Homo-oligomer: A and B are copies of this chain.
Amino acid sequence: MSEECAKIAVIGLGNAGLPLAAVVADSGLMVMGVDINEERCRQINRGENPIPEEAGLEELIKRHGGKRLVATPRFEDARGCSTYIVIVPVFVDAGNNPDFSIMEKALHSLGKILKKGDLVVLETTFPPGTTEGLVQSRLCMSSGLLQSDFYLAYSPERIMTGVSLSRLREFPKVIGGRDEESGIVAYQVYKKFICNLHLVSSAKVAEMIKVMEGCYRDVNIALANELFKICQDLGIDFFEARDNANHQFCHIHLPSTGVGGHCIPVYPWFLIKEMEKREHFSNCRLLSVSREVNDEMIQYWAERILLECMKINKPLFSIKICIKGITYRAGVKEFYHSRNLGLVRLLAGKGLDVYVADPLLTCEEVIGKGLRHIKPEQSDLIFDPFELKFDITGIN
C-alpha cells in the first residue's frame, strides 16, 4: 500500500461511526464520511455536531467538519480513498437471527468503488466468521476483484454513547486480519489514530472478543436480576449485600427491568444461533437462559406493580399506573428492544390503567407510540424503571 492510505473513508456516520471519523480527522488524516442521511451530512459539513450527548464531539466537528472531515451521501465521492472503514448496523430479526440487510447494501455499494490494493476494515459487531465469510464474498462479488486483490480486517468498535471519544483515545482496541498481511497493513493504518491498539491473530478472534464482552455483560446482568429476585424472596436488601460482596475478585452487576438497546441483548444471539445451526444446543445453555431471565424481568416487575396496588384504597381497575421512562436506558432516547416499553405494553395487555411519563418525550411523542401520557403526580402509582422504585402519590 502506498502513502495514499492516509485518505480514509468511514462508511456510516452514526453514533459509532461519527466519533471514529472525528478522531481520525483529528489525528491529521483526511476523512471522507459516507452516510445515507443527507441532512446529517450537510450538518457535519457545516461543522455542526448531530450527537449532542457525545462529550467533546462538538469541538471536533466544529474544527474538522467540511474541512478534514467531509461527509457525503454518495459512495462515488469516496473513490479516492484507499482505506474503507465500515461501521453500519447489524441487528437481529424477529427470530433473533442476524439481519445483514443494511450491511449487505453498504458492501454492495463499497464494492463498486473498491480498487486493487485497498484496505477494508469492518467495525460493526457481528458473528465470528462474518468478515472472512459474508463480507469478503459480497465485496468480491460486487467489485469483481479476487480476495487477494484487497486487504480485509476487523476491529470492533468499543464505544459507548457519551464517552466514545475517551474510549477511542484510551481504551484498548483490537484489530485482526483475514490473513496475516491484512492484519499488519490494517494495524499500521489504525496505529495512526488509535494509541492503545492490539493486533490479534485473525479477524475471527477480533469478532469473538467483542461478542464475548457482550455475553459477559448479559449473563452478569441476568445473574444480578436472579440474585435480586432471590433477595426479595428472602427479605434481604440486595443492594446492601451487593455493596459488601463486591471487591477486586467479585463484580456483581445491577438489577434492572432487563436489557435493551442494540448491543448487549443482541450479541448473545450471534453465538446462540450459530450453535443452533450446528445442532450444538448444549453449548449455549447459559447464554440462552440469561437472555430469557433478562427478557422475563418485565413479568417480575408487572407482578411487583400489581402487588404494590394493594396499598391503594381503590378498585384495581381504576388505579392509574404511571411508568416513568420507556427508553431502553436512562438519558438515551432510543427504544430498540426497550424492556420499559415492553413493560407498559404488558400491563396494558392485562387491562390495567397504565400511562407513561418520560422526561425525554413530549406528550405527543408518547401518544405517537400508541400509549397514553400522564403527569406523574396525576397518577396513583408511579414506577421508575431506572431506579426500580415505587411511589404512591398523594392523590389517594
Listed in ascending order, the chain A residues whose CB lies under 8 Å from chain B are 128-129, 171-172, 174, 198, 200-202, 204-206, 208-210, 212-213, 215-217, 219-220, 222-223, 226-227, 229-231, 233-237, 240-242, 244-245, 247, 250-252, 271, 274-275, 278, 280, 282-287, 289-290, 292-293, 296
* A216–B285 CB distance below 8 A: no
Residue of B275, B292, B293 near A230 (CB, 8 A) is: B275
**What residues of chain B lie closer than 8 Å to A280, measured between beta carbons?**
229, 233
**What residues of chain B lie closer than 8 Å to A212, measured between beta carbons?**
227, 241-242, 245, 250, 252
**Chain B min CB distance to A231 (Å):** 6
- Per the bound structure, the CA–CA distance linking A204 and B231 in Å amounts to 10
Residue of B129, B234, B283, B290 near A129 (CB, 8 A) is: B234
* A230–B283 CB distance below 8 A: yes
* A286–B226 CB distance below 8 A: yes
- Per the bound structure, the CA–CA distance linking A172 and B231 in Å amounts to 22
**What residues of chain B lie closer than 8 Å to A278, measured between beta carbons?**
233
- Per the bound structure, the CA–CA distance linking A208 and B229 in Å amounts to 13
**What residues of chain B lie closer than 8 Å to A233, measured between beta carbons?**
275, 278, 280, 283
**Chain B min CB distance to A228 (Å):** 10
**Chain B min CB distance to A273 (Å):** 12
**Chain B min CB distance to A278 (Å):** 7
* A235–B275 CB distance below 8 A: no
